[in-house]
C-alpha cells in the first residue's frame, strides 16, 4: 500500500476528509460523514443548472466562491442594460 493510500485510509477511519481530496476540493471544516453528502448536493445542484438552465434561485453557500458569482451577476446585468457596474448594488429585504 502506498503512503497516499495509507493516509487516506487513516483519514477515513478518523472521519476526516483525506488531504489529497481536500487539496482539490472546496474548503470545509466538516468531518467526512457530513462533507460527503454536502459534496453530492453541490454536484447535483451544478448538474441541474447545466442540464436545465438557470434556476429560479441560487444556493449561495453551496458555491466555492460566492463573491465571484455575485460579481458576475452584476457584470451580466450591467452589460445587458448598458449600465456602469459601479452604479449597481444589491439590496435585501429581511423577511420574517
pLDDT tens sequence across 9-28:
999 999 999 999 999 988 89
Q: Count other Cβ atoms within 10 Å, centred on residue 35.
A: 19
Q: Quickly state the pLDDT bin for 66 (edges 50, 70, 90).
A: confident
Q: Which residues contact 90 (CB under 8 A, 6 or more apart)?
A: 70, 74
Whether 7 and 50 map to the same domain: the answer is yes
Whether 13 and 42 map to the same domain: the answer is yes
Closest CA to 16 of 27, 30, 1: 30
The per-residue pLDDT for 58 is: 86
Whether 31 and 8 map to the same domain: the answer is yes
The per-residue pLDDT for 10 is: 96
Q: Which residues contact 60 (CB under 8 A, 6 or more apart)?
A: 66, 69, 70
Whether 37 and 73 map to the same domain: the answer is no
Q: Show the domain range for 48.
A: 3-56
Whether 69 and 25 map to the same domain: the answer is no
Q: Quickly state the pLDDT bin for 63 (edges 50, 70, 90).
A: confident
Number of domains within the chain = 2
Whether this prediction's pTM lies above 0.85 is answered by no
Whether 12 and 51 map to the same domain: the answer is yes
Whether 11 and 37 map to the same domain: the answer is yes
Amino acid at each position: 500500500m502506498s503512503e497516499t493510500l495509507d493516509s487516506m485510509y487513516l483519514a477515513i477511519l478518523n472521519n476526516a476528509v483525506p488531504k489529497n481530496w481536500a487539496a482539490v476540493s472546496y474548503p470545509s471544516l466538516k468531518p467526512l460523514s457530513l462533507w460527503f453528502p454536502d459534496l453530492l448536493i453541490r454536484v447535483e445542484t451544478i448538474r441541474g443548472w447545466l442540464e436545465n438552465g438557470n434556476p429560479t434561485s441560487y444556493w449561495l453557500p453551496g458555491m466555492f466562491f460566492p463573491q465571484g458569482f455575485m460579481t458576475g451577476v452584476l457584470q451580466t446585468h450591467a452589460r445587458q442594460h448598458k449600465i456602469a457596474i459601479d452604479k449597481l448594488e444589491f439590496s435585501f429585504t429581511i423577511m420574517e
